[in-house]
Amino acid sequence: MLRHLALTLRRWGGWLLDAVYPRDCFFCGRPSGDSQICQACYERLSLARNPACLICGAESAMPEGPDFVCSDCLHHRPAFARAFVAARYEGDIRDLIHAFKYHGGLWLTDDLVRILVGVYIGRIVPLRLGIDAVVPVPMLLRKRRKRGYNQAEELARLLAAQLHLPYFPKALKRVHTGVLSQTRLARGERLANAKRAYRTRRAEPLRDRTVLLIDDVLTTGATCDACAHALRAAGAKRVYVLALARPLFL
Ligand SMILES: [Zn+2]
Ligand SMILES: [Zn+2]
């Protein structure tokens, strides 16, 4: 109950404060209208990346052609058809995501979704993929309770609302598997572990839908691979991934 109240306050607190104080830009501190990032700082955000793998969205360190597929995807094709990534996980983007995720920065949701909508309109719409479901990457219930929210869910809900796409917040479930730190495991073990960790809920009508899976940061892609695997096992036609950022190197 208290936790719910705290979350509600956190969610609406920004609006209440706006009524009293004008918003200041996250980066430069100047008044920023009804956004948390002023237009000048928004235009300066580092959204440029090197050419990325056509499937998993991993950036290449080398100049590559537009049909570049990384060696990981050549060896193991993920269960999702393609991942779209907005930015490299560093600098200003990393600061934003960090505040959003670890410092209760739900007031940044609008601005982060604005970045995702930009990718959707600029890169996904022209491909006519027929997306008809938006699903967030789930979080362990215990972790969600501690944080008060699942950041992927917050992004996915607003994105789906702005794009008028059907939203399935509970399509996937993260179950506890007692996994050690994912980064300490070999690739094969990581994938096997991840597959055990994500399940679909039977009630969700995902059959024959083309799903857009939303995450904040893609690291190895194993999580999205496992989620896509579960969604396809539940009858989803195809799964695409949209994430805010991915590190250049792990
Ligand atoms: Zn600014
Ligand atoms: Zn790849």
pLDDT in tens, 73-130: 999 999 999 999 999 999 999 999 999 999 888 999 999 999 999 999 999 999 999 9
Q: CATH code at 82?
A: 3.40.50
The CA 32 to ligand 1 mean position distance, Å, reads: 7
Round to whole Å and give the CA distance between 168 and 157. 9
Ligand nearest to the CA of 36: 1
Helix (H) or strand (E) segment spanning residue 207 = none
Q: Per the domain annotation, does 34 fall within a domain?
A: no
The CA 115 to ligand 1 mean position distance, Å, reads: 16
Ligand nearest to the CA of 92: 1
Q: Per the domain annotation, does 24 fall within a domain?
A: no
Q: Per the domain annotation, does 19 fall within a domain?
A: no
- Can you list the alpha helix ranges (DSSP code H) found in 45-186? 71-75, 91-102, 109-119, 141-147, 151-163
Q: Which residue has the higher pLDDT, 106 or 195?
A: 106
Q: Please check whether residue 231 is in contact with residue 204, taking contact to mean a CB–CB distance below 8 angstroms.
A: no
Ligand nearest to the CA of 221: 2
The CA 45 to ligand 2 mean position distance, Å, reads: 25
Q: What global pTM score does this model have?
A: 0.88
The CA 127 to ligand 2 mean position distance, Å, reads: 19
Mean pLDDT of the chain: 87
pLDDT band at residue 66 using 50, 70 and 90 as cut-offs: confident
The CA 22 to ligand 1 mean position distance, Å, reads: 13
Q: For residue 54, what are its two tokens?
A: 């056509």
Q: Supply the pLDDT for residue 128.
A: 97
CA neighbor of 216 nearest in space, from 247, 243, 198: 243
Question: Using alpha carbons only, what angle is made at residue 176 by residues 172 and 181, rounded to the nearest 5 degrees?
Answer: 110
Q: Per the domain annotation, does 198 fall within a domain?
A: yes
Q: What is the pLDDT of residues 117-142, one digit of tens each?
A: 999 999 999 999 999 999 999 999 99
The CA 187 to ligand 2 mean position distance, Å, reads: 14
Ligand nearest to the CA of 31: 1
Which residues lie across from 238 on neighbouring strands? 210
The CA 44 to ligand 1 mean position distance, Å, reads: 9
Q: Please check whether residue 134 is in contact with residue 165, taking contact to mean a CB–CB distance below 8 angstroms.
A: yes
For residue 199, report the phi and psi dihedrals to the nearest 5 degrees: -135, 155
Round to whole Å and give the CA distance between 84 and 56. 8
The CA 11 to ligand 1 mean position distance, Å, reads: 22
Question: Using alpha carbons only, what angle is made at residue 104 by residues 101 and 109, rounded to the nearest 5 degrees?
Answer: 70
Q: Per the domain annotation, does 29 fall within a domain?
A: no
Expressed as residue numbers, the domain containing 82 is: 45-246
The CA 24 to ligand 1 mean position distance, Å, reads: 8
Q: Supply the pLDDT for residue 234.
A: 92
Q: Is the pLDDT of residue 159 over 90?
A: yes
Q: Please check whether residue 160 is in contact with residue 131, taking contact to mean a CB–CB distance below 8 angstroms.
A: no
Question: Using alpha carbons only, what angle is made at residue 195 by residues 192 and 197, rounded to the nearest 5 degrees?
Answer: 115
Q: Per the domain annotation, does 88 fall within a domain?
A: yes
- Can you list the alpha helix ranges (DSSP code H) found in the chain? 2-20, 39-44, 71-75, 91-102, 109-119, 141-147, 151-163, 187-197, 222-233
The CA 41 to ligand 1 mean position distance, Å, reads: 4
Task: Report the number of distinct structural domains present in the chain.
Answer: 1
Ligand nearest to the CA of 37: 1
Ligand nearest to the CA of 77: 2
The CA 82 to ligand 2 mean position distance, Å, reads: 9
Ligand nearest to the CA of 82: 2
Q: Per the domain annotation, does 21 fall within a domain?
A: no
CA neighbor of 26 nearest in space, from 116, 85, 98, 87: 98
Q: Per the domain annotation, does 192 fall within a domain?
A: yes
